[in-house]
Chains A and B, each alone.
Chain A
């Protein structure tokens, strides 16, 4: 059976327990190891790993990245995970489980920079990369063996080795014959793992696995599957294609194929961005219009900054409010022409807030911009009814120029301090 040493990248024939070349026990072997080419790379506890890399004092401590006591855990390192801390868990609960944890605010700009470095390493492997977030991506290495002089598995093992040596973080690889299974595989042997699901074993492997493995099955869909008596992939396979279609509509067709480990989606480079949004959960629930107004402005500014960085503008502004009862309220407004100006986003969102007439207290507020297009035609036309709008937009561009030169805090609006 083909085998590969993940330490020295030597290839040999299993069944050896250690690498014949370097004696490392970190070996991956599989009958289809050198013929599979669709991979999923997932960094291990990405934000926490970056923090530990930059501050060795944290190395042996449980580290949680997330926002304040009121926020949720965005990443927990593996030491914290031993205590039961999970991502998306409310922070107070995480601290009950792991009171000694070091809670950090997260430095998104640093993570984005590290993510870019990882992306550069991946770019050397294949042009077919589909990033899912800062810390995970699909890679299609089909047809690259001649180019690299090595099968995909070797190149992927080399990728994680380089990530560790050159960037200082670890990642796990899932290798299979389609995206669905590659993603499932990368989760099997975390952290710093390398898992393979081959064509021959697909059906047996899935049979007794729960259907929630399928990416995109949330609690609501889970419930309707439960009602249909579907828990495992084997349950799912007992349904005919027609029956699934009737019961679950469009998803039925997908379920039918996934039940058999079939997934025909391609690894797509640069899926176009559909919307830009930012939201914040408050430290304390608030009903104060002044405080909420400050948040609307700061979030509008963040959204505008991201739109400007990408050179895009949007036609629809969305306001999202979460009440203290967790009830979510969203309102949106279409603009006559696209914008990337924070002032315009802010004013629209503020009007939406006033029109919604919702009673607080609120625990979360979000601002989104969608129906995106290239920014060439955006914000070039003045408003007859708001003659100052053009001047405010000009002031904002001047502010952007000052910030680009002297830093973000060089100039801020009074509104931002609320």
Chain B
């Protein structure tokens, strides 16, 4: 194999691939990236056996071929090369070394045979559709904060992507929850997604997927089967196993009868929560909300370190209410609101609270109160 490629192009392709590689690996080949050169493209493939990324880039291929080298080392080398450099990758197939040349720099990396590299088995996808990058970005960005890290609740360690029935018909829906908060985000159902099976997309995949979604103009080809999900742009293909488990019936935990309505500027609210929470050093800080006619008092009382209180002008017309929340959870859901006011719907101090943006039903958040 012998190829020449521009440093910036190479860095982007290798960078995307190497981020999938697990830093602590017991199987040496999994630390490597598979480089395949053919025609006028070179592809970089990396996997952790659950996720596989293939990144294609244009290159001048003088001699077709394939080999594998340590992904992190290759990425580090390319990153440190000067901007605009032309990089030459050469593997003679016999020496067990890949040579990297750029200007006066010369590197030689140990390779492992390409035959040893595990390529993810291809599978039949039930459902294929395409979605615009901004649509997927919204679905996953607004839900991922609620993904659980509890290993024993492995079926919550991802975002549940499925087709659901909403008021205006069927929607493409993403849900994530850790038992303390829940996010439910809807988008128009893309053509071809109608009979998509519901899948739990693992947290790591959600993180990797995010890198495909930066370009507003991009259209993402999505393929879904019972066991796998694939997201592809012309350059990058991300294939991932989905979590083998049943996502709980979330619909019954989303309150429908909450009537006490609070409307508040989300930015002001978040800043106030952040300020009063400062006095407590605990990781799970509780913030108390006291609601009265058009008035909200936020307070934190940490016996060992101090107390804080702040008052906000809000729209609230119901009975007085005192309710406590984990400050971090409040901040996280408040930061999802970017266009209109945050609308909170309460029931009692012990019941789940609902939050949405203005009157928008396509993004709904639920948060569990805390005893204060």
List A residues at the B interface (Cβ < 8 Å).
332-338, 348, 351-352, 355, 373-374, 376-378, 380-386
**What are the interface flags for B263-282 relative to A under an 8 Å C-beta threshold, 1 for contact and 0 otherwise?**
00000000000000000001
Given contacts A374-B282, A377-B282, A377-B286, contact A384 B352 (CB under 8 A): yes
Inside 8 A of B148's CB, which chain A residues have their CB?
336
Is B180 in contact with A381, judged by CB distance below 8 angstroms?
A: yes
Given contacts A381-B369, A385-B253, contact A336 B149 (CB under 8 A): yes
C-alpha spacing A338/B284, complex, angstroms? 8
Flag whether B136 is at the interface (Cβ < 8 A).
no
Consensus secondary structure, chain A interface:
mixed
Partner of B150, one of A333, A380, A384: A333
Inside 8 A of A377's CB, which chain B residues have their CB?
282-286, 326, 370
Extra 17 A-B pairs, beta carbons < 8 Å, given A355-B151, A381-B371, A382-B369: A333-B152, A336-B148, A336-B178, A337-B284, A348-B150, A351-B152, A355-B152, A373-B283, A374-B282, A376-B302, A377-B286, A381-B326, A381-B370, A382-B368, A383-B180, A385-B156, A385-B179
Q: Which residue of A lies closest to B249 (CB)?
A: A385
Residue picked from B282, B286, B372, most chain A C-beta under 10 Å: B282
- Which residues of B146-198 are within 8 A (CB) of A? 148-154, 156, 177-182
Inside 8 A of B285's CB, which chain A residues have their CB?
377
**Distance (Å) between the CB of B133 and the closest chain A CB?**
31
C-alpha spacing A201/B226, complex, angstroms? 74
Is B182 in contact with A384, judged by CB distance below 8 angstroms?
A: yes
Partner of B366, one of A335, A338, A355, A384: A384
Inside 8 A of B177's CB, which chain A residues have their CB?
384-385
Q: Which residue of A lies closest to B350 (CB)?
A: A382
9 tightest A-B contacts by CB?
A377-B284, A351-B152, A333-B151, A380-B371, A383-B179, A333-B152, A381-B370, A384-B253, A377-B282
Is B152 in contact with A381, judged by CB distance below 8 angstroms?
A: no
Q: Which residue of B lies closest to A336 (CB)?
A: B178
Inside 8 A of A386's CB, which chain B residues have their CB?
179
C-alpha spacing A376/B370, complex, angstroms? 12
**What are the interface flags for B289-303 relative to A under an 8 Å C-beta threshold, 1 for contact and 0 otherwise?**
000000000000011
**Distance (Å) between the CB of B365 and the closest chain A CB?**
12
C-alpha spacing A14/B178, complex, angstroms? 72
Given contacts A384-B179, A384-B180, A384-B253, contact A334 B282 (CB under 8 A): no
Residue picked from B152, B182, B369, most chain A C-beta under 10 Å: B152
**What are the interface flags for B308-330 relative to A under an 8 Å C-beta threshold, 1 for contact and 0 otherwise?**
00000000000000001010000
C-alpha spacing A374/B371, complex, angstroms? 16
**What are the interface flags for B348-372 relative to A under an 8 Å C-beta threshold, 1 for contact and 0 otherwise?**
0010100000000000001011111
Q: Which residue of A lies closest to B181 (CB)?
A: A384
C-alpha spacing A305/B198, complex, angstroms? 42
Q: Which residue of B lies closest to A390 (CB)?
A: B350
Sampled A-B contacts (25; CB under 8 Å):
A333-B151, A336-B148, A336-B150, A336-B180, A337-B180, A348-B150, A348-B152, A351-B152, A374-B282, A377-B282, A380-B286, A380-B324, A380-B370, A380-B372, A381-B180, A381-B371, A382-B368, A383-B368, A384-B177, A384-B179, A384-B181, A384-B253, A385-B156, A385-B179, A386-B179
Inside 8 A of B153's CB, which chain A residues have their CB?
351
Inside 8 A of B284's CB, which chain A residues have their CB?
337-338, 377-378, 380-381
Inside 8 A of A338's CB, which chain B residues have their CB?
283-284
C-alpha spacing A384/B150, complex, angstroms? 14
Flag whether B39 is at the interface (Cβ < 8 A).
no
Inside 8 A of A335's CB, which chain B residues have their CB?
150
Inside 8 A of A380's CB, which chain B residues have their CB?
284, 286, 324, 370-372
**Distance (Å) between the CB of B260 and the closest chain A CB?**
18
Is B152 in contact with A384, judged by CB distance below 8 angstroms?
A: no
Q: Which residue of B lies closest to A332 (CB)?
A: B151
